[in-house]
Amino acid sequence: MNYNYTFVYILFISVFFSCQQSSNTIPNDIRNPLILSKNTLEPRATLFSFENEALAILDNMEKSKRYLSLNGIWKFHLAKSPNNVIKNITDANYPLNNLDDISVPGNWEAQGFGIPYYLDEEYPFDPNPPHTPIENPVGVYKRKFTLANNWVTDGRTILYFGSVKSAMYLWVNGEKVGFAKGSKVPIEFDITDYLMQGENDLTAVIYRWSDGSYLEGQDTWRVSGIERNVYLYKTPDVQIRDVFSKASLDESFNNGILDLSIDIQKNKKEAANLKLEITLFDNKGMDVWSKVIENPKESKINIKGLIEKPLKWSAETPNLYQLIIKSTSNDKIYEVVKIDVGFRNIEIKDKQLLVNGKPIYIKGVNRCEWDPYLGRYMSKELMLKDITLMKQNNINAVRTSHYPNDEYWYKLCDKYGLYVIDEANIETHGMQFHEESYEKLTNDDNWTNAFLDRAKRMVERDKNHPSIIAWSMGNESGDGKNFVSIYNWIKEKDSTRPVQYQEAWYENHTDMVVPMYKNIDFISDFAKKNDSRPLILCEYAHAMGNSVGNLQDYWDVMEKHKNLQGGFIWDWVDQTFAIKNKDGIPIWGAGGDMGDPRTMNDSTFCANGLLYADRTPYPYLKEVKHVYRNIKIKPRNVSSGEFTLQNNFFFTNTENFKIEYSILKEGEVVGNGVVNKIVVEPNDSTNFVIPITNLKVDKKYDYYINFAVRQMANNSLVPADHIVSRDQIILNKGIQGYVTKLAGTLKDKNISSTDTQLTIANNKWRIVFDKSKGYLIEISEDDENFIESPFKPNFWRAPTDNDLGNGLQKRAEVWKDITLNHKLKYFNYDLKDNKVNITTTHVYNDVFEQITHYVIDGNGKISVSVVVESDKTLSEIPRIGMTGIFKGSLDKVEWYGRGPEENYWDRKTASFIGKYKEDIEKMNTKYIRPQENGNRSDVRWFLLENDKGKGLRFESNSVFNFSVFPFLYSELSHYNKDTNKHGSEIKSSGITSLNIDYHQMGVGGDNTWGAKTHEKYTIRPGIYNYSFSILPYNKPH
């Protein structure tokens, strides 16, 4: 991410990160970009050498006798620098009893060894490539493992590391095997010649920083160690070393073309009568194509096959075939490998990205690999949870920001259907702080191979996955000739997919224009340009804190222009640690929480997810699901029950969906029904009718029709009866005011006035005003006062992360001052028409005035009318309303308006008008940083109620906003080192804080480093009028 404002960087221990290279104990390998590896195997596709066809079809290497997992507890020593590594620790007989235990995989900082640093842009050391700090922590991992004799005598034994960060030396049985750097792609060593039968010793010496760290400057936690699976596997003497399976469609898009390139490696003597049996199976296990190759003469075999009318692969229809390649000699099986095959075409044509000849929308998210307990290691179960939530929330695409993901993730995307942008592990963001140039490394010939190596290893590993529709060369590294080299290499290697890069912009070495955080005006302007490429936002809708406003506005524009094809929200899940504070309260650990708080950190900028780190959704995931929905219902002739069903899927008709509807009068259901199997083809629409002509509509009341489109049968990760889309359509807008009309009179005897207070009361209730302040300070019923502290004007909100990013807390600080320091200019009351009329005027200097008129009737109803006038030279107004603290016994709330989740002016399309009820404890969102939350908009009335069913009712002739909290609202204003740093640390305090607002500005969401709330969701100074009423409430029994 690119942003201009910086959270506070607290003192950094410069000695720790000194970059002077004075010690000869630092290996040259880790500070030389020309040295990439030593004695490692060449990269290849993800393959496993199964013993037989049955195991290959099962595709679970853990069931194979040729597999040995080395995951689990290892022994560990962390040295603060290379000088401090224990001597002879790599010896095979080094005693292990004095070493610590550590789980593999898992970052060592996540397990209590050293401090993880969270940084967005900067390196955690002074940029001086290729040099690394002398104080460069070194983690030494050791473990024993036992091998049967056949592991030593037959074939070859390969040691696999899924990801090691940042650079590693390997020893086996005390002998140095090799070296590698560059994380997020596998490192493989052939260790056959180092092994012995029985017990063996393995040592991995891992350096936290290397020259490779300059290419790994992503916006994430800077953590180290073994991040993915470690295992041994056996390969036969004759090995299918690599396969490139290109599965495409012919020009008619009806028939499949299977283009195979197979590499054979013979590790020993020439194999007699070698035979390759190649078979393609459909998802029912039927053989749809096969080929036998006898005694191949060349090590590289190229063959093509034609498959008639295959089921096509797309994210909507992820149809897979199984390619089985078996090698034998004289009926002896060497090995069997399996590859999932999906037939699809990806192309750029006529300004659009096409899948199987059809333009698609990218309804995507950026996904960083994150586990709140283990760091960058992702279990299979957690990956499955991620893709399940994505599929169930209408997300169809993922960008692997900013590195190749675990291999299993792509298997899930192939199987369940997600479009993937696979991104190379290249980001040099911190070079912008280098004295020479941000683009120094991208144009340096000494770094060309380091750049290329990362792209090659990604493409070679992932080339067979149908879910990958484009390669991304990296992120935020400037642009230069090293990216041109990557582009040219990829295009030569793989002509079936486009290649993209965010900072190439309009240069020729990106096939799509993929900027980040461009606003709606920018993409609208691009749509009118004569560029042959589509625009897809690689990052947008920055979901930090209370955010994701105006998402619908983005998509309103995208759906108008064919060359605007969506984008990837930043991002999927918070990158925070599950920890406890000093008082034992669970919190989400962000920058500065994970050790010495003086270390350099970018605070909560790691918390930008649609989900908390434990995969609990934030409220705005529902908004994303709604905006991303593929089936929409629109009004046609509502009074006669005519509606339009729009199918925005590209490859799926609607036969597997049913439509449920309910008709609501003032939030109460007065009718419902089901419409089954309206079949609409992709990108088409049809009209349908529901029987509402006989409905007796009382024009005085609101009537809405809620539609829910449900899936009728299980579809992979989306179960039967799951709601895929919802729409709400107004049937009748009520004309009757919502203000309750009550009888009752007041007389002089009901009024009591002193120098300081005005009291209006009868034998049932009492209302008191503070005459010196002009505030309502008591509403009592049966001697129970519901107000804890005064009800007064309010124009301030606890700044959101977006507010802090654009400087609202300073720019609009006058409104905080007005809220806290306005003065009473006028207070008057009289009795007229059996009602008490009270008028107050509050002012602030010469720039603000609020006139509030209260009318109190004989039933204790308080009608409030407000006129706010402010000087037009003032800044935007965060909110216009009133606030007060009420008794904590009023701990339940019921309302008629948008809900049930929090919603705002610019983020409410998924929150339908209805009647809702909730405990006040559950009305708030505990964002990582405390901030404004919990608002409900377009509200007509709400009740604050205690356990006895007594309380207060607030209502209005027009819609308003409200929010309630079981603590002081001011506790949410965390900035400038306020007390509470984490939302979860704010606990209930036995009160009920209330905000009732004529309006509150939108939350924004374009970015969190300068973008303001869109103008149409902004409150400018001027004259505003609003009104509402407060009534004593007693639930009928």
pLDDT range class, residue 737, cuts 50, 70, 90: low
Question: CATH assignment of 362-574+609-625?
Answer: 3.20.20.80
Contact 392, 719 (CB under 8 A): no
Q: Tell me the fold of 28-235.
A: Jelly Rolls (2.60.120)
Look at strands 397-399 and 362-366 and give their pairing: parallel
| pLDDT classification of 18: cutoffs 50, 70, 90 | very low
pLDDT tens-digit series, residues 58-117: 999 999 999 999 999 999 999 999 999 999 999 999 999 999 999 999 999 999 999 999
Region 298-323: mean pLDDT is: 97
Please give, one letter per residue, the 3-state secondary structure of 618-666.
CCHHHHHHHHCCCEEEEEEEHHHCEEEEEECCCCCCCCCEEEEEEEEEC
Average pLDDT over residues 279-297: 95
pLDDT digits (tens, 9 = 90+) for 876-920: 999 999 999 999 999 999 999 999 999 999 999 999 999 999 999
Residue of 346, 356, 350, 342 lying closest to 252 (CA atoms)? 356
Sign of the dihedral defined by the CA atoms of residues 417, 402, 603, 17, in that order: positive
Task: Catalytic residue, from 122, 135, 423, 539: name it.
Answer: 539
Domains 238-341 and 629-732 are alike in CATH topology: yes
CATH level 3 topology of 238-341: Immunoglobulin-like (2.60.40)
Q: Which 3-state string (H, E, C) describes 858-875?
A: CCCCEEEEEEEEECCCCC
Q: How far is CA 263 from CA 61, 159, 260, 281, in A?
A: 21, 20, 10, 21
CA angle 683/689/691 to nearest 5° reads: 155
% of the chain beyond a pLDDT of 70: 96
Please say whether the dihedral angle defined by the alpha carbons of residues 312, 315, 319 and 325, taken in this order, is positive or negative: positive
User: Which of the four pLDDT bands, split at 50, 70 and 90, describes residue 677?
Assistant: confident
Is residue 476 part of the annotated active site? The answer reads: yes
Say yes or no to pLDDT of 15 above 50. Answer: no
Instruction: Return d(Cα 975, Cα 863) in angstroms, integer.
Output: 36
For the cut 60, the answer to whether the pLDDT of residue 817 exceeds it is yes
Phi (first) and psi of residue 979, to 5 degrees:
-65, -60
pLDDT digits (tens, 9 = 90+) for 592-605: 898 866 677 888 99
Model pLDDT for residues 864-873, shown as the tens digit of each residue: 999 999 999 9
Residue 673 has pLDDT above 80, yes or no: yes
Torsion of CA 727, 730, 736, 742, to 10 degrees: -20
Q: Is the pLDDT of residue 2 over 50?
A: no
How far is 485 from 481, CA to CA, in rounded Å? Answer: 6
**DSSP bridge pairs for 996:** 882, 962
Contact 230, 160 (CB under 8 A): yes
Model confidence band, residue 559 (pLDDT cutoffs 50, 70, 90): very high
pLDDT surpasses 90 at 783: no
The predicted pLDDT at position 350 comes to 95
**Residue 282, pLDDT score:** 96
Tokens for 807, please give them: 């400087």
pLDDT at 746 over 50: yes
Helix axes 448-462, 407-416, angle to 10 degrees: 40
> Mean pLDDT over all residues of the chain?
94
pLDDT at residue number 980: 56
ω before 124 within 30° of 0 (cis)? no
Per the structure block, which two tokens stand in for 446?
């000494």
As a whole number of angstroms, the distance between CA 578 and CA 616 comes to: 13
**C-alpha dihedral over 551, 556, 559, 563, to 10 degrees?**
-70
Q: How many CA atoms lie within 13 A of 365 on its CB side?
A: 27
Strand intervals (E) in 236-370: 238-249, 256-266, 274-281, 287-294, 300-307, 321-329, 332-341, 346-349, 352-355, 358-359, 362-366
With 0-12 CB in 10 A as exposed, 13-18 as middle and 19+ as buried, what is 200?
buried
Reply yes or no on whether the pLDDT at 22 is more than 50.
no
- According to the model, what pLDDT value does residue 1037 have? 62
Q: What is the mean pLDDT of residues 508-530?
A: 97
Grade residue 780 by pLDDT with cuts at 50, 70 and 90. very high
Q: Which of these, 414, 415, 439, lies nearest to 427 by C-alpha position? A: 439
Mean pLDDT of 850-859: 96
Cβ atoms within 10 A of the Cβ of 432, count?
17
Q: Is the pLDDT of residue 14 over 60?
A: no
Which architecture does CATH list for 629-732? Sandwich (2.60)
| The pLDDT value given to residue 742 | 64
**866: which residues sit within 8 A by CB, 6+ positions away?**
793, 850, 851, 852, 853, 882, 998, 1024, 1025, 1026, 1027
Peptide bond before residue 534 is cis, with ω within 30 degrees of 0: no
Cα gap 852→860, rounded to integer Å: 18
The alpha carbon dihedral of 464, 465, 466, 471 has a sign of: negative
On whether the CB atoms of residues 170 and 178 are closer than 8 A, the answer is yes
Q: Which neighbouring-strand residues pair with 573?
A: 611
Confidence band for 11, pLDDT divided at 50, 70 and 90: very low
pLDDT above 90 (res 738): no
| Token pair listed for 223 | 């953590």
> In angstroms, how far apart are the furthest CA atoms of the chain?
115
Q: For residue 191, give the nearest of 227, 235, 148 by alpha carbon.
A: 235
**Where on the phi/psi map is residue 776: left (φ > 0), alpha (ψ -120 to 50), or beta?**
beta
Distance between CA 470 and CA 70 in Å, rounded?
33
The pLDDT value recorded for residue 876 is 98
Domain spans of the chain, in order of start: 28-235, 238-341, 362-574+609-625, 629-732, 749-1034
Question: Which residue out of 476, 666, 849, 955 is catalytically annotated?
Answer: 476
In the predicted model, is pLDDT for residue 743 greater than 70? no
Distance between CA atoms of residues 576 and 984, nearest Å: 13
Strand partners, 865: 853, 1027
788 labelled catalytic: no
CATH T-level assignment (fold) for domain 749-1034: Beta-galactosidase; Chain A, domain 5 (2.70.98)
User: pLDDT band for position 506 (50/70/90)?
Assistant: confident
- What is the mean predicted confidence (pLDDT) over 815-827? 97
- Kindly tell me if the per-residue pLDDT of 994 is higher than 50: yes
Reported as a single tens digit per residue, the pLDDT across 349-400 is 999 999 999 999 999 999 999 999 999 999 999 999 999 999 999 999 999 9
Bridge partner list, 775: 770
What average pLDDT score do residues 973-986 get?
75
pLDDT number for residue 267:
76
Query: How far lies 58's CA from each of 64, 340, 343, 411, 461, in Å?
Result: 10, 12, 21, 13, 21
User: Quick check: 687 and 644 in contact, CB under 8 A?
Assistant: yes
Q: Are 128 and 75 in contact (CB under 8 A)?
A: no
